[in-house]
Amino acid sequence: MTGSGLFVQLKETGADGFIPASTVGDEYYYHDEAHRALVGEDTGRAYQLGDMVDVKLVEAIPTAGALRFELLTEGKQIGIKPSGARHRRFRTGARGKPGGRGRGKSKRPGAKPGKRKPASRSGSGKR
């Protein structure tokens, strides 16, 4: 169980697969680490580690050994109140962009982001 989805193991075959959180239900689900659950932001419905669920195979990539499933079972109430807008998908940083300190483009023309040119010492000092 992660913030990006649920890992499942089929009881019959032991095959492992993944259910992306973006495909679970009609609401945003956040990862509640304390309860080891994906919890619906609006309804409080949750999927916890160890829950038995019904799934449908959506995609199989044999060369990668990857299976992607669709969740058919509805979440259950586990005593967590719906959070409403308390949990965010990302934090807004400088300049209104996700990620914090705003490492955007340099204001110097021709400058490359993330790289600085060493200061030139020749010809710029006093004689």
Give the start-to-end residue ranges of the domains of the chain. 5-83
Average pLDDT taken over every residue of the chain: 75
Phi and psi angles of residue 34, each rounded to the nearest 5 degrees, phi first: -60, -35
Q: Is the pTM of this model over 0.95?
A: no
φ, ψ of residue 96 to 5 degrees: the values are 75, 15
Task: Write b or e for each residue in 89-116: b if 16 or more Cβ atoms lie within 10 A of its Cβ, otherwise e.
Answer: eeeeeeeeeeeeeeeeeeeeeeeeeeee
pLDDT at 94: 45
Length of the chain: 127
30-52 average pLDDT score:
89
State percent of the chain over pLDDT 90. Answer: 26
Residue 97 has what pLDDT? 45
CATH of 5-83, one of 2.40.50, 2.60.40, 2.30.30, 3.30.310: 2.40.50
For 11, the token pair is 């009881």
